[in-house]
Amino acid sequence: MASTSSSLRQRLNRMFNLRSGMDEPAAIDATIREGVETFGINLWVLILAMLVASIGLDVNSTAVIIGAMLISPLMGPIVGLGYGLAALDFALMRKAALTLLIFVLLSLGASTLYFALSPLAVPGSELLARTQPSLWDVLIAFVGGSAGIIALTRKSFSNVLPGVAIATALMPPLCTVGYSLANAQWSWALGAFYLFTINGVFIALATLLFAKLLRLPRTAAPAERARGLTHLATALTVVAVILPSLYLAREVIAAQRYAHTLDTVIDATQRLADVVVIERRVRQDARRVELTIAGSPRVSDVEALLREAARREPELRGTSFIVRTVTGPQIDLGSIRAALGADLARLAADQNAQLREELLALREQQAAAQHQRAELESITREMRAAFPAVHAAQLGWSTAGDTEPRPPGLLAQIHARPTLSAPERRRLEAWLAVRVPASAVSVSYAVAGAASR
């Protein structure tokens, strides 16, 4: 019995062992520090991601906004901040905080300018969805950030990181703030910036906790007082950010219950009074509902039925109903119902066709991404077999053109132990050029966390 219990524990340990497949601490440190850099490629990618996100929000395109999430470098300094807290590396924390501040200010300024100049002034659903965060956004940010730091500590590339970038969106909320500032929508700006703050704080918190759980080494041993103040500031920040989300979550739940109960009452009244509600205007904050109906019953009778049903529902207590009618001898209730049914059927058919097109496009993108990942994994295996000194290799394709059959460039970072000599490097680069003949190859080398070109 004891041996069975021990075997089960060992099996569970193997299944849930986070350190299995983890990269060297020096390599993890180098990867995180690279994402904290302010200038160079990170700054260019930030500007491009901001433009993509702003355009996507402007035209209400989900696919374009997802693209901005994937290329945005904003997660780099946030992860760096959480990692610095775990390692008690105050220099890294200051650098990450400064980088994040620069990135945020640039994104806000550029997106505000874009929306101030854009002729499209009507906000879409994608933009409005980022103005009302709640407790669920806290959970998404923490869980997504946890998956992100786990993926960053692996030896090989993982398909987790794109999912984390989409789930914990950082650039779209900032661009929503830019839209709100350009159009003087102060409450929207506050809500969108709060969503960005939630995502940033809880990605950093997840990084901090999992860096400790993975036992990543500290870079310094600060004084006990400095360590205590750091932990206190972290705890106070988390509490200050999460408290408003609890209130907003309560508001969201109340709004959903109100809307659901109101729909139930109106549907029951339509059947009971034999009327059709053509239009409804609901102001939940004022507890006021205005309905336009078609049918033969008197307005006062319909209002009485609504008030009676609302009295039985606690969520609708205090709601006033105003009913107007378009009933007359020329109105045919059956025709109205038939026309409404036909319109709904056409709308459903159009939406189904659009969803099928989007699903097909996503499947094609997924297939292309899987093919690229498989090819990179094959190249990595062949390289390690041909060059035993290569400890790990990180490969990726550079951005593809619209008409290219495959990505035009291969980016490779080679981790070798010991370092490769100049002839070995030339031989490896020549091998890569033969292995991917249609691509330009760019290779960098790293040993024990120190990169050289």
For residue 420, the domain's CATH number is 3.30.300.30
Sheet holding 276-283, edge to edge: 276-283, 288-294, 320-325
The pLDDT score that the predictor gives to residue 451 is: 41
Q: Is there a single domain that holds both residue 261 and residue 397? A: no
Q: Is there a single domain that holds both residue 32 and residue 175? A: yes
Q: Is there a single domain that holds both residue 88 and residue 203? A: yes
- For residue 197, tell me if it sits in a domain: yes
- For residue 91, tell me if it sits in a domain: yes
Q: Is there a single domain that holds both residue 183 and residue 321? A: no
The pLDDT score that the predictor gives to residue 448 is: 43
- Point out the domain boundary residue: 170, 200, 221: 221
- The residue range of the domain holding 306 is 256-343
Q: Is there a single domain that holds both residue 94 and residue 53? A: yes
The pLDDT score that the predictor gives to residue 452 is: 39
CB-based burial label for 329 (10 Å; 0-12, 13-18, 19+): exposed
Q: Is there a single domain that holds both residue 181 and residue 297? A: no
Prior bond to 418 cis, omega within 30? yes
The amino acid present at 296, given as its one-letter code, is S
- For residue 2, tell me if it sits in a domain: no
Cα 155 to Cα 151, 251, 394: the distances in Å are 9, 44, 8
Distance CA 303, CA 434 (A): 80
Q: DSSP label at 154?
A: B
- Can you give the pLDDT of all 453 residues of the chain as single tens digits? 556 666 766 676 666 677 677 778 888 888 888 888 877 787 888 888 888 888 988 888 888 888 888 788 888 888 889 988 888 888 888 999 999 999 999 999 989 999 988 887 788 888 888 888 888 888 888 888 888 888 888 776 555 666 666 666 788 899 999 999 998 889 889 989 999 999 889 999 988 888 888 888 776 666 667 777 888 888 898 899 888 888 888 888 888 888 888 888 888 887 777 777 777 888 877 788 888 877 666 777 777 888 887 778 888 877 888 888 765 544 555 666 666 777 788 888 888 888 888 888 888 888 877 777 788 788 888 887 778 877 777 777 765 544 444 445 777 777 777 777 788 888 888 887 877 776 677 777 776 444 433
Q: Is there a single domain that holds both residue 216 and residue 270? A: no
Q: Is there a single domain that holds both residue 328 and residue 418? A: no
- Point out the domain boundary residue: 194, 221, 248: 221
- For residue 46, tell me if it sits in a domain: yes
- For residue 5, tell me if it sits in a domain: no
Q: Is there a single domain that holds both residue 164 and residue 285? A: no
The pLDDT score that the predictor gives to residue 101 is: 92
- For residue 331, tell me if it sits in a domain: yes
- Token couple for 57: 């929000």
Q: Is there a single domain that holds both residue 155 and residue 75? A: yes
- For residue 367, tell me if it sits in a domain: no
Q: Is there a single domain that holds both residue 382 and residue 299? A: no
Closest CA to 270 of 262, 282, 260, 281: 262
Cα 39 to Cα 19, 31, 36, 100, 356: the distances in Å are 32, 16, 9, 12, 42
Closest CA to 296 of 279, 315, 318, 273: 273
User: Helix, strand, or coil here: 397?
Assistant: strand
As for how many domains the chain has, the answer is: 3
Q: Which long-range contacts (CB under 8 A, 24 or more apart) does 158-164 make?
A: 159/369, 159/373, 162/70, 164/75
Residues 163-191: b if buried by 16+ CB within 10 A, e if exposed: ebbebbbbbbbbbbbbbbbbeebeebbeb
Element (H, E) at 151: helix 135-152
Distance separating the N- and C-terminal Cα atoms of the chain: 57
- For residue 422, tell me if it sits in a domain: yes
Q: What are the residues facing 388 on neighbouring strands?
A: none
CATH of the domain at 310: 3.30.300
Q: What phi and psi, each to the nearest 5 degrees, are found at residue 181? A: -65, -40
The pLDDT score that the predictor gives to residue 160 is: 62
Element (H, E) at 234: helix 224-273
Q: What is the dihedral of CA 31, 34, 40, 42, to 10 degrees?
A: 70
Q: Is there a single domain that holds both residue 37 and residue 116? A: yes
* HEC secondary structure over 291-324: EEEECCCCHHHHHHHHHHHHHCCHHHCCCEEEEE
442: left (phi over 0), alpha (psi -120 to 50) or beta: beta
If you search the block for the tokens 């490629």, which residue do you land on? 41
